Structures are given as C-alpha cells and as structure tokens.
Amino acid sequence: MTTIGKLDPVPLRDLWKHEERGFSAWLESNLDSLSEAIGVSLSDPQRELKAGGFQVDLVAEDDDGNRVIVENQLEATDHDHLGKVLTYLTNLDAKAAVWITSEPRPEHIRAIQWLNETTPDDIAFFLVRLAAYRIAGSDPAPLFTVIVGPSAEAKTFGKQKKELAERHVLRLRFWEQLLARAKEKGVLLHAQRAPSKDSWISAGAGIRSGLSFNYLIWMSEEAAVEFWIDTGDKEENKRIFDALHARKAEVEQSFGAPLSWERLDDKRGCRVRFVLRHGGLSDGEEKWPEIQNVMVEAMDRLAKSIKPQFAKG
C-alpha cells in the first residue's frame, strides 16, 4: 500500500530571519522556482538594485530582456509594499512586477487586479503567495502560488471599463448642456431632473402614473425622444397604447412628422418614438448644440401632440 505523507506548514521566519539577507538571497539562487510558478522565465538576478533613494529586493530579466522587479514580504501585504512595487516598476522602467507575500489581503488582491486591467498591454503584475511545508520530517520546501496574474482577458475587461467610464462622463456633460438648453427654451418637462450617466433621461408626463417623456442619446449617429407607457400592468399599457394609436393621424399631424409606434407585444411597456439622425455623443462636442436643439424642439412637439389626447378621454 502506497504511503501518503502529510504536509506540515513551516513558519517562514523559521527559514528566513530577514527578508533581504535571508529570503532574497535564497531566491536569487533559486529563481527557477519562482519562474515555474509564474510561467515567466527569469534570469540574471540582481539584489538590492537602487531605484532613486530606494533599494529593490530583486531585479531580473525575462526572455525578451525586459526588467522584472520582485518585491518580497514575509508578512501580510500592506500599503507600503504596494507603493514600493509601483515606485520600483516605474523608476526602473520594468515591464513586470512580482509581489511575494505570505498573506495577500483582499484589498491588495483587488488592487493588483485593477493594475492588470488598467495598465498598458505590455505591463504585468503578479501577486504570489509564499508558504513552506515539510513531509514527515523532510527538509522544508517553499510553495509559490499565483493569486493574481496578468491575462489578455483582464486587459480587455479593463479597456471595456475605461470605455464605459468615458461614456458616463460624456453622457453626464451632454445631459447637463441639454437640460440647460431646454430651460432656456422654456421646455420644462425635465426641469426637475438631474444630469445622468445613463443613455436616457426620463420625466413623468404629468398625466397619470406610469407615463413619461424620455430623451435618449446613443454614441453615434442617433438620438431620440419618446413617450413611454408602463403603468406596471401589461394589459393596461396595451389598452392605453391602442387608444392613443387610434388617434395616430391626429397626433402625427400635430407633431409634424411620422412617429414610430411600438406596441412591443413581447414586453410589458409600449412607446411612441421619434428618432433624430443628427449625430450622437461621439460625433464631436461641436455638434452637441445642434443635436440638443433638435432634441428639445422635438420633445416640445411630442408632448404638445400627445398630452391633449388624454384630456379628451
């Protein structure tokens, strides 16, 4: 019968009393163990290289000759060492940073994930947990475990988040300008609304609950104004829509153009929409005043065309 040993943890400070003179010196001679763990071939290690007024635990090179800095910490991660990682990487013009620790804290795991998502494609961060074990009284053996590492997926996700954040900024600025322009023109349906990072701004129609007038803006080419129907009751929504649609000719004559009548049978709500093809958010801020003017004017016409129909019963 095969005998299977038990892993007994060994305190790191029992093996290395000092990070620099102990662990860093050992790692310099056993760099292949770290290379195997992170999947990056490391060579030509140098200890205690100067980075301005600071001293790096270890600096190595990858197969392409790029510098890789290694920061060692035999205790739980802290903000001081995170700062060192960033300082060393930038001041030594390195392409990768490896932070070795006995206990990666959740906030620092998230920080390294964020760095991998937001930095350029050729920059990489590794957070590596170090532990040591014996089996049945054997010599202690270190175990490196990658907790966070770079990936193409992380870089793609980071770019997507950055694009989304940029959209939020653009939308907020666009709605600030549109709401101000609407007030100047006396179109006050949305006067009590605040600018939003969303692609729409909604305001109650003042007719009954569940009816609203919405501005919408897309990234390119199009914007829209719409009358939205959602009382919370699908059957009631369709009844309201059908009654309004029966007066389609009158509504469109008042509005001055054909409208898109969307009953949306597979959804709870319904809408009457007018699409404006004067441009979108990313078509240049110099075009925004024109887009906003036609949106405000169209909203005024839409409200004046639809609201009187409800007064008729």
CATH for 142 = 3.40.1350.10
Residues 128 and 257 grouped into a single domain:
no
Sheet of 223-229: strands edge to edge? 200-204, 211-217, 223-229, 270-276, 260-262
Q: Is residue 2 domain-resident?
A: no
The torsion angle over the Cα atoms of residues 281, 285, 286 and 290, rounded to 10 degrees, is: 40
List strand residue ranges (DSSP E) for 91-245, in order: 96-103, 124-135, 141-148, 200-204, 211-217, 223-229
Please give the pLDDT value at position 158: 64
Please give the pLDDT value at position 7: 85
Please give the pLDDT value at position 161: 67
Residues 80 and 199 grouped into a single domain:
no
CATH code at 221? 3.30.1460
Q: Is residue 181 domain-resident?
A: yes
The torsion angle over the Cα atoms of residues 146, 147, 150 and 153, rounded to 10 degrees, is: 120
Cβ distance 121 to 155 under 8 Å? Answer: yes
Q: Is residue 227 domain-resident?
A: yes
Q: What is the pLDDT along the chain (313 residues), one digit of tens a residue?
A: 677 778 889 999 989 988 878 899 999 999 999 999 999 999 999 887 777 777 888 999 998 899 999 999 999 999 999 999 999 999 999 999 999 999 999 999 999 999 998 888 889 999 999 999 998 878 888 999 999 998 877 777 667 666 667 888 889 999 999 999 999 999 999 999 999 889 999 999 988 899 999 999 998 889 999 999 999 999 999 999 999 999 999 999 999 999 999 999 999 999 999 999 988 988 888 999 999 999 999 999 999 999 999 877 6
Residues 116 and 195 grouped into a single domain:
no
Q: How far apart are CA 234 and CA 231, in angstroms?
A: 8
Q: How far apart are CA 102 and CA 81, in angstroms?
A: 13
Give Rg (Cα) of the chain: 31
Residues 6+ apart with CB under 8 A from 247: 309
Residues 215 and 101 grouped into a single domain:
no
Q: Is residue 82 domain-resident?
A: yes
Please give the pLDDT value at position 1: 65
Cβ distance 143 to 133 under 8 Å? Answer: yes
* Six-digit token string for 141: 């053996």
Under DSSP, is residue 207 helix (H, G, I), strand (E, B) or coil?
coil
Please give the pLDDT value at position 157: 67
State the DSSP code for 17: S
- Angle at CA 258, nearest 5°, toward 253 and 262? 120
Instruction: Quote the number of domains for the chain.
Output: 2
Please give the pLDDT value at position 282: 85
Residues 260 and 210 grouped into a single domain:
yes
Residues 222 and 279 grouped into a single domain:
yes
Structural domain harbouring 68: 7-150
Residues 186 and 261 grouped into a single domain:
yes
Please give the pLDDT value at position 82: 94
Residues 186 and 300 grouped into a single domain:
yes
